[in-house]
Structure 1
Amino acid sequence: MKEPIVNLLIILLRKNGIRVNEPELEFQLLSHPSYPSLHSITGVLDHFAIENYALDVPKEIETLDLLPNSFLAVVKTEEHNGFVMVSRHSLGFQLSFDGNKKRFFSKIDFLEVWTGVIVGVENDKQNLAPDVKKTNFTKCILYITIALLLIFLLYKVNLFQAIHFLLSFGGIAICVLILQHELGLHSKILDKFCSEQNKKTSCNAVLNSKGATLFRSLKFSDIGIIYFVSLTLTWFSLVNSNTNYNSIVLITLLAIPFTLFSIFYQYKIVKKWCLLCLSVVSILWLQAFSLLFIELNNTVFEFSLRSVILTAFNFLIVFALWQFISPKLKKEQELKALKIEHFKFKRNYNIFKSIIQKSDEISTSVNDRNEIVLGNNENPLLKIVVITNPLCSFCKEAHELVENLLKIEDKNIQVTIRFNVSGDYNSIDTRIALRLIEIYNKEGKQVSLKAMHDIYSTIKPNDWLNNWGEPNEQIYKETIIIAKEWCNQHSINFTPEILVNGRSFPKEYNRSDLLYFIDEIIEEEVEKVNSQISVHEEETESMQAI
């Protein structure tokens, strides 16, 4: 199941009318290096470009009236210490602790448990990506289920056949929920079954026990899915071939001892109840009771070899297919968990910092006012220099990084575009670079960004020159010369090269990974500036004392 904070954050976004790709949000949050901290929540909201704010406000009754209608808050109670989802209520506030467990608090009671920390979001009506695939998949499964039910009923089956078949479908649904639980997946229905708010119930305790595994490999979900899917296919085979269904009757009766063992095992051995398991038991008992609706005649009790063969064939086919599918599903979840750990490690700023500091710091300043400089032109804390070439196929990713950096609403970021091109002014790469510099100085930043976007997309160089024109001004050749000399001086021979405050961006990372570390880099630079100011003030005070 999803982590509580993931659930709470999704609920917060839904209450504010913000739709996002929920699996992606879950991945980004769980893989954040500081999860489950406040910083991880705001970082993920920033990743999705959702306006958000994290505040530590005074714990006063007047403050409560200023709070939004829904927000995340940090509370401390005897049972819970962490984030909760808070919604305004006529009686005060409704607190959701994990997406399921809810309690009402008066304003006075809320002030007693609240720490003063809140996280809020604002809906700026952005078109954030909904989980279209998940919605389409759910609809597809629903349509297929309805179609299969209608097809089966078209065979003019009797009451027993219809009830038993429908219950088999219900069994499949319950076993899919059990499989989701075993794989650590999430759904609203599953949360209702396995909320574990009652001390006498625990899906984990039962499903992870030895009794829930057969032959050391078949889990409870495996057995259930194989059983109910096989029954469903067998019913289709029997009614389609007009074959006696006494094999179904026999299997239904043989399942009863299993239900007795399950109840005994949960009651006496585990001493916990699994609502999902009890649901399966209920379906098996209902299928047994449906035998009462059989139309008694001589054919019911006749042995039918065809019926046995069809039943055995369907069970073997389903068993073989599930033995192929099940490991892949489990491997996919293992890879998902590994991916989360990988990204959590990769996005760790301390590791990134230790690697980037191994490279020598070089001066990125050049004596040229015509160079393309985007973002903050005055005193930025983060200076990024992108050394590129218009004909470099690998520079497309670097240009996408530039565009994403400029989308960050932080005035402390400066991005410089420096061209490392050939010295031949008739060569196409130099002509394009000159024209880009010319566009920047004459037509402004936005037009130059559009021109750069075009050359680093799929457009051919000659077509680009036809669209944007040849360079006209000779004065910008000096910019190309200065950039080339600077590249030679610092042995920068390949493009793209990215310098972050004078240090080479590590090859161990994808260039787009730089976006993960922007906040930490700026925070560190702010600390350096504050430290220098403090030292300067201390020195000034010492001089005055003398």
Structure 2
Amino acid sequence: MFKNIWTGNALVVKESTEAAEPDYRMHQRNEFISVVKTYSIPAMLILAAVIGLTANCNTISIFDIARITLSSVGILFCAMLIEKQLFGKSHYGDRVCSLFHHADCNSVLDGPMAKIFGISWSEIGLGYFTANILLLSLFPVSSGSVSVINWAGMLYGVWSVYYQWHVAKSWCVLCVIVQVIIWAMGITATVSHFTVPFAFDIVSALLSCIAFAICIMGVHQYTSAYVVENERVRAVQHYRALKANSAVAKVLIKGGEYYEITLHDSSIIFGNPKAKLRVTILSNPHCNPCARMHTQVERLLSMSKKEICVQYIFSSFNEMLEDSNRYLISCYMDNPKDEALCKFNLWYTKEKFDYKKIVKMNKSHIHTDVVEKEIEKHRAWRKKTSLIETPTILVNGYKLSDEYELVDLAMIENTVIEEKNILKDINGRSTTPLGAE
């Protein structure tokens, strides 16, 4: 069966010392910036805690340091819980579970009581421990208020253990460890007030509650943004995959308005004139969107120069500006294609802002019979189609649908999109036979 279906072609991958990722340095820099942004908030929180401990080392008790240490351990375990919540698994969290011969915590984490007001207990725990560290290190006078909150947290620990034992009848080892840490913090807070007088005032209590709320909501927003971004990335990937499907592309592109266009309507052609896809661009040399479109033309040609044909047809705001069209046409006529493309780029990025000087310098080149003949062809096509909006993009005569950008055509370069079979009557008018697409 294999011999019958095999084409005789095989893909062989060989190691090459010359192989390199395109734009590697730029990608490396972008990845570094992304990592810095991801870890900037945790890094700033750690730095703030270190600064607070250093500045208040004379006023912070040994028991507060113990609570800060316990909170740091709690952050690690809550981070594992959030990792399991987001990805369904955690490298280190799963190892902790396996030590207790318990392989799955997800039944509890995905249960009906895993969230309150849309915020998971994992996020609340991470925010809770973070607030403990910041308050005890930066604002030691709030130790009494934090103690009250720690004691309230012990009540949650009792409820959590009861829920896993009697209601869910399934244990989350990481959750139990977090409850043990919460209880250890509450006991430490109780012991500390046997040696350090218990101080509690309304102002520090309110500030402490605000700090806990901010930390919890900050963690929730952080994880929510991460989930939304991942969903966005997946949606974009699926959308691009859909656009890259030849059958889908064919339907979408052929659903656009059709305008008859041939290679004889403009000689300004880049790429492969025999390519299956011919992209026609109605462009105005003084149009800013057209200038941005030209950057996409360069990208498209760099990706699919041999499989794409790009044809330019020039327009202008008025007759006084038609010398700009003549200049670009002369650039194409008098130079190799690659050099002409560079001159087009120079025009759209710089020279168009000083067009009078450029046109004057090249006056002898732009007013020739060849240029005038070409500009007449462009004018005749615009009159025939009545198109005036720039930039207008046609793919084999069909107006490019809004779902596609110009560079997206590199994904469907081998798609066959038949042009309409438009017949001419004896007066030169276009007629489409019944039943013809």
TM-score normalised over the length of structure 2 = 0.74
Indicate how the Cα distance of structure 1 residues 321 and 264 shifts in structure 2: closer, same or farther if over 3 A, else same.
closer
8 Å CA contact 1:171, 1:228 repeated in 2: yes
Q: Per-residue CA shift, 1:234-279, capped at 9, x if unaligned?
A: 324652x4x7x44544544443443344345445544554454244
Distance 1:222 1:143 in 2: 19
Structure with greater helix share of residues: 2
Question: Is the Cα contact below 8 Å between 1:201 and 1:272 reproduced in 2?
Answer: no
Q: 2:34 aligns with which of 106, 114, 134?
A: 134
SS of the counterpart of 2:264?
A: coil
**Contact 1:234–1:311 (CA under 8 A) maintained in structure 2:** no
Alignment of 1:158 with 2:54, yes or no, is: no
Q: Secondary structure at the match of 1:487?
A: helix
- Work out whether residues 52 and 137 of structure 2, in 8 Å CA contact, stay in contact via their aligned partners in 1: no
* Pairing 1:359–2:261 present: no
**d(CA) in 2 for partners of 1:464 and 1:220?**
68
Question: Highest CA radius of gyration, 1 or 2?
Answer: 2
User: Within the alignment, does 1:387 sit opposite 2:287 as a pair?
Assistant: no
Write the mapping of 1:167-246 to structure 2, written as runs, cut at 5 A.
167-176=70-79, 178-179=81-82, 182=85, 184=86, 190-193=90-93, 200-214=102-116, 216-236=117-137, 238-239=139-140, 241=141, 245-246=143-144
Q: Superposition pairs for residues 103-142 of structure 1, below 5 Å?
A: 122-124=19-21, 126-127=23-24, 128-130=26-28, 131-137=31-37, 138=39, 141-142=42-43
Q: Give distance in 2, aligned partners of 1:422 and 1:248.
A: 71
What residue number does 2:408 align with? 516
- Give 5+ residue unaligned stretches, structure 2: 1-7, 419-437
* Shift in Å, 1:221: 2.9
8 Å contact 2:144–2:200 — kept in the other structure?
Answer: no
Match of 2:313 among 410, 418, 424: 418
**SS of equivalent to 1:415:** strand
Aligned residue for 1:385, secondary structure, equals strand
Q: Distance in 1 between matches of 2:78 and 2:176?
A: 11
Hey, what's the Cα distance between the residues in 1 that align with 2:71 and 2:359?
Answer: 65
Contact 2:283 2:314 in 1 (8 A): yes
| Contact kept? 1:256, 1:284, Cα under 8 Å | yes
> Residues 494 and 67 from structure 1, CA distance in 2 versus in 1: closer, same or farther, beyond 3 angstroms?
closer
Match of 2:435 in 1: none
1:36 is matched with none
1:433-464 CA-to-partner distances (Å, cap 9, x unmatched) read 21122122222222222222133236543257
Distance 2:190 2:199 in 1: 21
Q: Give the TM-score normalised by the residue count of structure 1.
A: 0.61
Partner-residue secondary structure (3-state), 2:349: coil
1:467–1:236 Cα change, 3 Å: farther
Asked if the contact 1:200–1:272 (Cα under 8 Å) also holds between the matched residues in 2, the reply is no
1: distance between equivalents of 2:237 and 2:356? 38
Q: How much does 1:353 deviate?
A: 2.7
- Distance of 2:9 and 2:181 partners within structure 1: 52
Q: Quick check: 1:383–1:413 contact (8 Å CA) kept in 2?
A: yes
8 Å contact kept, 2:277–2:415: no
C-alpha separation between the residues in 1 aligned to 2:224 and 2:22?
38
Cα pair 1:202 1:272 within 8 Å, conserved: no
Deviations 1:329-366 (A, max 9, x none): 63774476367436634743444432321335444225
Q: How far 1:487 sits from its partner (Å)?
A: 1.6
Amino acid at match of 1:404: R
**Mapping 1:112-511, distance limit 5 Å:** 122-124=19-21, 126-127=23-24, 128-130=26-28, 131-137=31-37, 138=39, 141-156=42-57, 157-176=60-79, 178-179=81-82, 182=85, 184=86, 190-193=90-93, 200-214=102-116, 216-236=117-137, 238-239=139-140, 241=141, 245-266=143-164, 269-270=167-168, 272-274=170-172, 276-288=174-186, 290=188, 294=192, 296-297=194-195, 299-300=196-197, 303-306=198-201, 309-319=203-213, 322-323=216-217, 326=220, 330=224, 333-334=227-228, 337=231, 340-341=234-235, 344-345=238-239, 347-348=242-243, 349=245, 350-367=247-264, 371-377=267-273, 379-409=274-304, 411-421=306-316, 424=319, 427-428=320-321, 430-457=322-349, 460-463=352-355, 465-466=357-358, 469-473=361-365, 474-475=368-369, 476-506=371-401, 508-509=402-403
Give the CA deviation at 1:56. Answer: 8.3
Alpha-carbon offset, residue 314 of structure 1: 1.2
| Compared CA separation, residues 134 and 268, structure 1 to 2 (3 A) | farther
> Cα distance 1:491–1:197, how it changes in 2: closer, same or farther (>3 A)?
farther
**Preserved contact between residue 384 and residue 416 of structure 1 (Cα < 8 Å):** yes
Shift of 1:422: 6.3
Mapping of residues 92-111 of structure 1, within 5 Å: none
Deviation sequence 1:183-236 (CA, Å, 0-9, x none): x379xx94442599969433432222123234x544203432442233234324
Shift of 1:504: 1.3
AA at the equivalent of 1:133: I
Partner amino acid for 1:441? M
- The letter for the 1-side match of 2:403 is Y
